[in-house]
Amino acid sequence: MKSRRTFHIVVLLAMLFSLAAAAVQAAPAQPQPENPTSAILGPFTSDPVYPTVWNGDLRDLPQANEADGQTGDAPEIAPARLTPVEMAAINAKAAQRVGTVQSQWAGEDPAPPPIENFAGMQFSANGAGWPPDTNGDVGPNHYIQTVNTSVGIYSKTGTPLSVVTFNTFFQGPSGTPCDTSNDGDPVVLYDAAVDRWIVTDFAWFNFNTGPYYQCIAVSQTGDPVAGGWYFYAMQANTGVFAGDNFNDYPKLGVWPDGYYMSANMFEAVGDGFGVRLWGINKIPLLSGGPLEEVHFDLCLDGSCGSFLPSNLRGPAPPAGAPNYFGTISAPDGFDIYEFHADFATPANSTLTGPVTVPIAPFVGYNDEIPQPGVGTGLDSLSFRPMMQLQYRNMGSYESLWATHTVDEEGLAVARWYEMRDPGGSPTLFQQGSLNPGDGVNRWMASIAADQDGNAAIGYSVANSTVYPGIRYQGRLNGEAPGQMPQTEQVLVNGTGSQNGISRWGDYSAMSVDPTDDCTFWYTQEYYTTTGSNWQTRIGSFKFPSCGETKGTITGRVVNAVTNDGVADAPVTIASVVESSVTVMTDANGYYSIDVLPDTYNVTAGPLLPGYPTPNGANGQVVAASSTTTVPDIPLSPVPNLVYDANTVDDNGPGGNGNGYPEPGESGVQVFVNLLNNGADTSTGVSAVLSSPTSGVSVTQDTSTYPDIPAGAVRDNNTPYVISLDPLMPCGTILDFQLDV
């Protein structure tokens, strides 16, 4: 079979040729320095902390922002404090930018539309600084959102039940800054296993001198409004951080035995840095007992960045499983540590790691994200992992889901990962980027997975023509890896820009409703009018198939000529009444996907370049609540020839034998290698070589090629022959064209 192609070939004349060839050759791969393993100090403990027990109703407290003396978190308004590793990433300029990772939109159907979509808190009524640090979580009957620096409790249809400042919310402990001087970086989580809420932020009386506290509130019951709370004040700057190191960017995770927390321990005045990881015994907190913790300190040498503890969603991990802490290690790793807290004998607690999971190379986004109509750009907090590090036990496997922002083609792009077997041999199962090539920045993301293993990711969007808004997308478990085929859906479009302040985020929150373990809830900031009055939004959505009885469609895609299985072929299973999913075949051509009982059209391909024509199964496929096997779907293979390389032979009578074409040489033989990267043998290949370069004569311009099997490279049967004018200047670029 013949394939007509035109190839562009460039050769340089002798003197410049040798220099240019050296210049364009890929530099030998340099060994990457290993990520330094920071000394792990600990385990350490501190004295038990006893709570203030509060049995009141939050609705009886002053609601909204009632000027209670709260001044907010001044360091939040200043530039973000970056870890030494993050500073190094910022200093890695755009010259290091890398390409995209599975960035294409593979699906045709948008993610499900919002079910609930209502306003959260805003700066003018509830805020005390920038950014808002928007986050939230959902329980059986409530959604709680926290911002800098207020707590909003809503019904699941959006009715505000109680909205108070943190200083109003924390009814003690008396004499600590948690009672009267809360400063931000809030986190709220719902613990489904025990039906309790946890709300936390940091606090101090004097930022420059401390002491610095982590304020932790645990609900007495599952009712966060009227059920009462236990309020704790845990001093964070103890031990090796007993000076002016404050607990910045604290993040919390729920685990069966406790609550695990990380914080960047910056010096308030100075450049000192470290990381502290805590395990907090859950059981005493549930009845108002003492807060008992064990912690480890690491990265005092500045060798790592921010950490996230794993946050349990759905079924519990195997008994005795440690909590997993994760951090990004540039340029191509995700580090996992295992924290086993022995609360009975704290000295037996362990923190081991890291195990580095290789990920695609990346660089941080170093620029500010543009907005319409203002000169202020927005921070991306690129490189820092975004809350939460979601853990899922799917029964047959365990997953950790993570996301952060990278630079792809000059855009801030949310990169996401699914890592499996965290407690055994952690591996990267899939990774992807949110970059469809439309020039829109997508960042400050949060990702989670439901009971079926479907994933959803929410994020901010903006560019010079798109106001900061909120969008989300997702994937069904089993769809093409590395992609979000359930394409982008709008939660709310922005209609204004943030002016005069660059801080954005610093995070958002995607969570899963414990009632059905299917409905996603997302909260993020945006703007309705240009200025400084940030708004927040709370929305929910659900994949229709989640939690439903399903059938399985399975089959095989084969080469129509050889009947061999075709690997990595896209297979689209399209419902006649609902949406479609796309899966990829395995190495042997097999595919399988769980779907709702329905009637489907099943189509394989195209898979370029070897299988350009899609083909469908004969007739519609009816899937019941069992396994339906589809007959083999054949794809017709075609060859596809591409230029591979060329060599020059000037050892004949008219050449000088140095292997380079030079002015005045004649009878120079040229061999052009062709690669068949298609799926069928290319036969009867004949090609014609020509050159538009003045002074180049092609004296033998036609040659045949042997048959070129799929995947093979072949030279021309007889050499092309060229001659060069003696008056051609050295360094002339010789331009050739090969018509096949």
Say how far residue 150 (Cα) sits from the centre of its chain: 28
pLDDT of residue 1: 40
In tens, the pLDDT along 517-540 reads 999 999 999 999 999 999 999 999
- Residues with Cβ within 8 Å of 652's Cβ and at least 6 positions away in sequence, in order, are 667, 668, 669
Q: pTM for the complete prediction?
A: 0.88
In tens, the pLDDT along 402-455 reads 999 999 999 999 999 999 999 999 999 999 999 999 999 999 999 999 999 999
Provide the edge-to-edge strand list for the sheet that holds 52-54. Answer: 52-54, 229-235, 212-219, 196-204, 182-191
pLDDT of residue 267: 93
| String of DSSP letters for 589-637 | SEEEEEE-SEEEEEEE--BTTTB-S-EE-SS-EEE-SSEEEPPPEEE--
Going along 275-397, which residue ranges are E strands? 275-281, 293-298, 308-313, 323-329, 333-340, 350-358, 389-393
What is the C-alpha to C-alpha distance for residues 687 and 703, in angstroms, rounded to an integer?
6
Domains of the chain by start residue, with CATH: 6-23+639-739 (2.60.40), 51-66+74-541 (2.130.10), 551-635 (2.60.40.1120)
Biggest CA-to-CA distance, the chain: 102
pLDDT of residue 100: 58
Low-confidence ranges of the chain (pLDDT < 70): 1-37, 65-79, 89-108, 577-578
Measured between alpha carbons, how far is residue 270 from residues 81, 86, 243 in Å?
11, 17, 11
In sequence order, the β-bridge partners of residue 469 are 461
CB 681 within 8 A of CB 39: no
CB 442 within 8 A of CB 413: yes
| String of DSSP letters for 457-501 | EEEEEE-SSS-SEEEEEEE-TTSSTT---EEEEEEE---S-B-S-
CA atoms within 13 A on the CB side of 626: 2
